[in-house]
Amino acid sequence: MAGIEVPYWDHVNIAGVCAHMKLVAFDLDGTLARSKKPMKPAMAQQLSELSSHIPLAIVSGGKMDLVQSQVIDVLTPEADRDTMHIMPTSGTRYYRWNHGGWEEQYEYSLSPEDRDTVVASLELHAREQGIWYEQTWGDRIEDRGSQITFSALGQQAPVDVKEQWDPDNRKKNALAEVVQADVPHLQVRSGGSTSVDISLRGFDKAYAVRELAKLLGIEVRDIVFIGDRMDPDGNDYPAAKAGTTALRVRGPEDTLELCKAMNAWFDA
């Protein structure tokens, strides 16, 4: 499939989008909240209200505990967890609400051998490229079981510093390219502001939305996918390529306005 250009949400007819959508899926960091930070109260309120109107999915590169702290823990009592689909680590895990708790439906993990190879490759090439820094905010490499994530500045780096480190994605893309050559059987993608994600090949946000469509008995085009990284090198782009109705946002403040518009359409 040729490359596609994903429109910003305020460049489309939202009423027309709302009229046909059957599920709304969201990226997390840079879309619902800033990196590793909880959603702001206004966003939590709008997302909770939206869950009472239509099924929602959260498809994040982060672990389940991050989705828990950034999204689930700040939902309002209005939120309908029964309609929610939580797909952390880029869709390699899937959780549904069941009898008062989140129950794992599946998990696809890397082998111990692949994890060791990936970690060694990341360190080797990050040092070669001058992005293996002596001082970081927390761990550089996180083993998430189903995904290995390299964070150049450390997992706990300040959001403002992370957002300024690689604004054109060149550093992340260069590292991803050489690591991919070392592990051609795996999927290596530029992730968040400072990160590169490695998982099993074929398990990305395209897989997540196709799996959701199959499980719910809907078409992929009936899923609206909202993300901030919709450029061809971005980790939200596979969901657009898979055939969702993809909408681009500029950040959490933009997503808040989009959710307000969707809730207004349902309430009209």
What are the catalytic residues? 27, 29
CB 175 within 8 A of CB 126: yes
User: From the CB of residue 111, how many other CB atoms can be counted at a distance below 10 Å?
Assistant: 9
| Distances 102 to 13, 32, 68, 171 between C-alpha atoms, Å | 35, 20, 10, 36
Q: Is 195 annotated as a binding residue?
A: yes
Amino acid type, 225: F
Chain mean position to CA 82? 21
Residue with tokens 């696809």: 108
Residue with tokens 């898979």: 242
Q: Is 182 annotated as a binding residue?
A: no
Taking the C-alpha atoms of residue 226 and residue 268, their distance in angstroms, rounded to an integer, is 22
Q: Is 144 annotated as a binding residue?
A: yes
Q: Is 228 annotated as a binding residue?
A: yes
- Exposed, middle or buried by CB within 10 Å (0-12, 13-18, 19+), for 185? exposed
Q: Is 29 annotated as a binding residue?
A: yes
In degrees, rounded to 5, the angle at the alpha carbon of residue 116 between the alpha carbons of residues 112 and 121 is 145
Q: Which residues are annotated as a binding site for Mg(2+)?
A: 27, 29, 228, 244
From the annotation, which residues make up the binding site?
27, 29, 144, 195, 197, 228, 244
Q: Which residues are annotated as a binding site for alpha-D-mannose 1-phosphate?
A: 144, 195, 197
